[in-house]
Structures are given as C-alpha cells and as structure tokens.
Amino acid sequence: MADTTVLRKDQLEISLHNEKKLIKEGTIKDDNPLDLSEPFRELCSACRRGDLKVCQEKITEGVNVNARDLYDYTPLILASLCGHYEVAQLLLESGALCERDTFQGERCLYNALNDRIRNLLLEYDYSKSTDPLQPLAAHIASLLTRESPVTTDITVAVADQEIALHKFILAARSPYFRAKLAPAPETTTWKLPSTTPPEAFAAAIRYLYLGEAPRELRSGPGTGFTESEVFTGIDKISKHLEIESLMDSLLDSGDRRRARQRRTVELGKGRDQFEEWFRENVLGNRVVIETSKVDEVKWDRNNAIFADVLLRADELPDEDDGATDEVPKSTLFPCHRAMLLRSEFFQAMFTSSFREAHIKDQLHIIDVDCAPDVLEIILTFLYTERADFPLEIAVDVLFAADMLFIEKLKTKAAVVISTLGSGVSQSEAARTRGTKDEDDIDIYAIIRAAWLTRVQRLEEFAARFLAYRLEAHIDSPEFAELINESAARIQARQETDSIELLDDIRFYLNERFRLRFDDAGLDELMEEQPPIAQSEDIGEITEGVEAMNVAKSTPATTSLDALTLQSNGYTREIRTLDGAIVEDEFDEDAMNYQILLEKLDALLERLNLDA
C-alpha cells in the first residue's frame, strides 16, 4: 500500500491519456505508430514466416521497424513469437526497440518462443542500444577536439575567442556559411559579430557538430554574461547562421523522453543535411576519367567544396568480355579527410609521415583498391552512416571495409549477404532440398571471403546455407575441397582440432531436421500452395535422387513396396534419398538425416581427415 512506485490503475490511465494527447498535439512522437501500409504488412508477414530476405528488403526500403499493425503487433514481437532468431537479430540491428518496462517491450519478451531469442532481446535492451546515428554524431563532434591529424581549414572568431573548424561541416549544416563560403573557398578566417557571448557561440558550434546539447549553459558571474544575455545571444546566432532549431534543442533537455526524441530527430535532420551536401558536392563532383590520364587531374586546395583529398577507384575491365576496346576508366571522388578518419586505415595514413600526410597545394590522389561503385558505398557510409547496397557488390564491400578497417560497414555487408543471400525462407529451402536453381550466390566464394575477412556471422550463414541444401553439394568435388580448406585453416593451429565448417554444418543440419520433425504436421495445414506444386517438387526430388551417386554404406532400409498414403486428399509416393520408399514424411526425414550424416563421414574418410 505504501509502495508509491507502482501507479494505481487510474493514474496509469491518466498518464496514458496524457501521452496520447501529447502525441495528438504533435509534441512527442509515438514510439510505435500504427502502420497500415502494404510494405509494412509484407514486412510483418515476412517476420511471421522468418523470411530474412524480404525483411532485409523491406527494411532497406525504409519501412519503420517500430511501427505496429492493426493488432498492435510490431515486427519484432512477431519474429520473437514465431521463433525466428535471425529475423529478430536483423530487426534489432536495424533499430527495432525492445525496451523493458514498456508495453511493447515486455510483450516481446513474454512472447519469445525460446530462451535463445529471449536472451537476444535482453541483450538489446534500450539502455544498451544507442541511436544508430550516434557513431556518426560522435565522430563529427570529436572533430572539434581532435588534435592530430589537423583537418580544420577555417578559423571562426567571436570576440576574442577563436575556434578552428571545418568549412564543409559549416557549409553542410548552416545555410549562412554555405552562402558565404561557396564564392570564396579560400577563406581561412571568419569573424562573427563580437557581441555574441562565447557561450552562445560554443553552443551553436556544438549543435552544428551534432554534439549533445549541454545540460546547462554556463552563465552568471565569471563568464561576464547573464543567462538571458546568453539566450539572446543564442537566439541571435541561430538566426544569423540560419539554424532555427538550435534554441529548441537547448530548451527541450528537461524531459528525458522528449530530449531523446528531439535528439533522434535532430540527428536524422543533421544526417540528411550531410547526405544532401554529400550527394550534391562529393558525388556530384566526381570525375570519371581514363585511367592513364588520372595523373593529369589537378585539384586546387581551394575548391568550392572544400575537399582536401581525392580518392581514386579504378574500374576493372569486365572479365566476361575479355578483349574490349574500352579504355580503363577511373573515378575520382573529392573528399574530406575529416570524414575519412572514421576509417582506421585513413587515420593511420594521415597521421603518418608518408607522402599522403603532407599538405600540398594540389590535392593528393589516393588510390583505393576497389571498384568505383564500392568506393561510393564506402564514402556514403562514412559521410552519412547509410549502408544500403545490393547483394551484387556486397562481397566487394565486405572486402573493402575489411581493408579499410570500417567494422560497422563490414558487419553491414555480412548482414546483407546473409539475409538477401539466404534466398527463400529456410523451411522452404529445406523442402526444395537445394535442387532448384537458386544459386544466386556462389556460396563457396562467400565462405572463403568469410574466412579471409574473419566474419564469424558469415561463416555461420554459409554453414547454414549449405546444411539446408546439403543434398546438392555433398557430392561435388568443390565441397570436398572446401572441407579440406577448412581443415587446413585449423590444422595451422592445432592438429586434433575439429573442422569448424563441418561442425557448423552438422549443427544446422540437426536444426533443419528437428525443425521438420517439429512442425511437419503443422506445415501441412498451413500450406497454401497448390498441391500440384508439391508433387512437382517431389518429382524433382526424385529426379535429383536418381542422378546422385549414392554412397555405399547406407543402412539397409526396409524394402517395402510403395505405399500409398492418404493425405489432404491426394496420393503421393514417398521415397528417401537413396530411393527407398518409406511410410511417411517423418520416416523420410529421419532416414535422409542419417544418410546425409553418413555421407559426411564418408567424405571425411576420403579426405583423410580426423574429426
């Protein structure tokens, strides 16, 4: 009774009502807005099915992962309820909120199908997760205090205070500076009206650099300015620099939730400004030129977009049409070192005493060992935190990000490959048994890339991919070679270690069949595909089976005559992988599982490997 921390029901209702009112008035935003659009519906149904690919596609399209449907389900609740671990992980990584002590958050947790998902959700509790744009903001804010390497190119003075700043940031964020600096890119100092209190100016600069709003402004005795003077100053400077929302960002810092939302909005806006500026100036000013003529390109240090370095990416001659007359082309991107510093590679480069670190009147042209489109992706990420790219170049991005030490982009590339690459949903894949022409991706290339770039997640993805389509791969020499390579990787470390890839495949194989055992019957009921398609599939399977080299040591299965099974009103024949006919699907699965495991063992024996 004395417990005041728990609100009485009427109080709770009042607060909910107030919140709704505020949301209606537009003061605060609803964390989980109702969304009845078609793309969101598709996302939800993909979450129900566990279709990673569609999920990723929808997220890339920009569907709000935190919205809710008619029945107050959010995609995360659905994924967690239906037990799709990978989907839940993808949603969380894409910014889905699962905050304890909120209605939707607790629903996620209670609905989680198993402990694995529940623990995943707890890991992402809001207190730990941050705004996805925070790394970008943190980097830009850190530029204000970074001492080495020097990337600033303008000194802005207010009264007797001077701050070294970046022209491109000023131009991107403040229309005032954009207008003033564009015609005179060589400017190195700028004076603002001296009546501005330094505190107000500092707040403005912090705002421009996406810094957090200060808890309180320093004023009163000692600073020489009263609080109201500082606020007037801020008001004035925000008008002067044309950054109207500066004042709001300072005034809102009282309420936590509102401050958070405000910050999210501000960051989003800031990012958009950067993006706009980036697309217009950096991408807009890219130079495509014949590779042989690259050295003739001269960019003066004083250029209208304040670039201080040129990045070069060469197009590779397309292998397919070997002897083309096309002259190899290169693309040059004018960039800003301040942003490139987000990559450890560039940071080492610009702080070292190598050639690239010396400042000259002509901008350096720095070769980046990747294709122009990949470089564009990388730059986009560095400038805007956006990482949306198609599967085709995902592996290239992965390699480039690895080379340049951009961990987040690397992860992102891995996510793209493992979601978009997974094709249809896993259960469907298992049903088709990998025999369909869905080799969108060269899984062997991907697993090797995973090894080279040391991305665990991708290794797991590849193992799962293979496990669900093992029938198609088990007998190919390529697969054997892959196993061999995996073993070699480990042998370098320890003689008796297990083969990682094989262990992973076994794990997912187990998962695959267990899944089938569990929900096979349910599947039947849920099946909406026409039966004809089913029989077609089966036919294909049988074909595939016949084409296969069956291993010798298969267990002697009962040589039963073909049984007819009455199911859903149609008859079908069930055979195992080695052609034996079994009673029903369950037996079939059990036997297939056995057969696949034995094949793996046989493979090991052939390769003379110990595992």
Q: Contact, 105 vs 98, CB < 8 A?
A: yes
Query: Per the omega criterion (within 30 degrees of 0), is the bond before 328 cis?
Result: no
Q: Give the one residue of 201, 299, 399, 479 binding other proteins; rule: CB under 8 A.
A: 399
Question: Residue 205 or residue 416: which is nearer to other proteins going by CB?
Answer: 416
Site for other proteins contains 403 (CB under 8 A): yes
CB of 366 to other proteins, least distance (A): 5
d(CA 449, CA 388): 20
Cα separations in angstroms, 177 against 167, 171, 242, 383: 8, 5, 9, 19
Q: What are phi and psi of 440, to 5 degrees?
A: -60, -35
Q: Residue 94 region, left (φ>0) first, then alpha (ψ -120 to 50), else beta?
A: alpha
Question: Residue 202 or residue 462: which is nearer to other proteins going by CB?
Answer: 462
Q: Contact, 158 vs 198, CB < 8 A?
A: yes
Q: Give the one residue of 5, 353, 549, 553 binding other proteins; rule: CB under 8 A.
A: 353
Question: Residue 12 or residue 316: which is nearer to other proteins going by CB?
Answer: 316
Strand order in the sheet with 154-158: 161-165, 154-158, 189-191
Tokens of 482: 């892959």
Site for other proteins contains 367 (CB under 8 A): yes
Nearest one of 226, 251, 225 to 238, comparing CA atoms: 251
Question: Residue 117 or residue 394: which is nearer to other proteins going by CB?
Answer: 394
Question: Residue 186 or residue 392: which is nearer to other proteins going by CB?
Answer: 392
The H or E element containing residue 290 is: strand 287-290
Subset of 325-344 contacting other proteins (CB under 8 A): 344
Question: Residue 237 or residue 400: which is nearer to other proteins going by CB?
Answer: 400
Per-residue x/- track, 564-583, other proteins (CB under 8 A): --------------------
Q: Contact, 370 vs 376, CB < 8 A?
A: no
CB of 449 to other proteins, least distance (A): 6
User: Across 45-188, where does the E strand assignment appear?
Assistant: 154-158, 161-165
Question: Residue 169 or residue 368: which is nearer to other proteins going by CB?
Answer: 368
Q: Give the one residue of 213, 310, 366, 458 binding other proteins; rule: CB under 8 A.
A: 366
Site for other proteins contains 352 (CB under 8 A): yes
Question: Residue 391 or residue 548: which is nearer to other proteins going by CB?
Answer: 391
Question: Residue 108 or residue 501: which is nearer to other proteins going by CB?
Answer: 501
Subset of 463-522 contacting other proteins (CB under 8 A): 493
CB of 593 to other proteins, least distance (A): 28
**Side-chain-side CA neighbours of residue 113 (13 Å):** 13
Question: Residue 280 or residue 442: which is nearer to other proteins going by CB?
Answer: 442
Site for other proteins contains 371 (CB under 8 A): yes
Site for other proteins contains 348 (CB under 8 A): yes
Q: Give the one residue of 216, 295, 319, 561 binding other proteins; rule: CB under 8 A.
A: 319
CB of 394 to other proteins, least distance (A): 7
Question: Residue 136 or residue 371: which is nearer to other proteins going by CB?
Answer: 371
Contact region with other proteins (CB under 8 A), list: 414-422, 533-541, 581-589, 599-607:
414-422
Strand partners for 332? 287, 312
d(CA 416, CA 510): 25
Per-residue x/- track, 376-395, other proteins (CB under 8 A): --------------xxxxxx
Question: Residue 22 or residue 391: which is nearer to other proteins going by CB?
Answer: 391
Tokens of 388: 């949306």
CB of 371 to other proteins, least distance (A): 7
> 299 CB contacts (<8 Å, ≥6 apart)?
307, 310, 334, 362, 363
If one counts every other C-beta atom within 10 angstroms of the C-beta of residue 16, the result is: 12
Subset of 259-298 contacting other proteins (CB under 8 A): none
Q: Give the one residue of 283, 357, 565, 604 binding other proteins; rule: CB under 8 A.
A: 357
Judging by DSSP bridges, how do beta strands 161-165 and 287-290 pair with one another?
unpaired
Q: Give the one residue of 172, 250, 267, 370 binding other proteins; rule: CB under 8 A.
A: 370
Strand partners for 163? 156
Q: Contact, 206 vs 137, CB < 8 A?
A: no
Angle at 27 between CA 11 and CA 67, to 5 degrees: 85
Subset of 432-451 contacting other proteins (CB under 8 A): 437-438, 440-442, 445-446, 448-449
Q: Which residues bind other proteins (CB under 8 A)?
A: 316, 319, 344-345, 348-349, 352-358, 366-371, 390-396, 398-399, 403, 405, 417, 420-421, 437-438, 440-442, 445-446, 448-449, 452, 454, 493
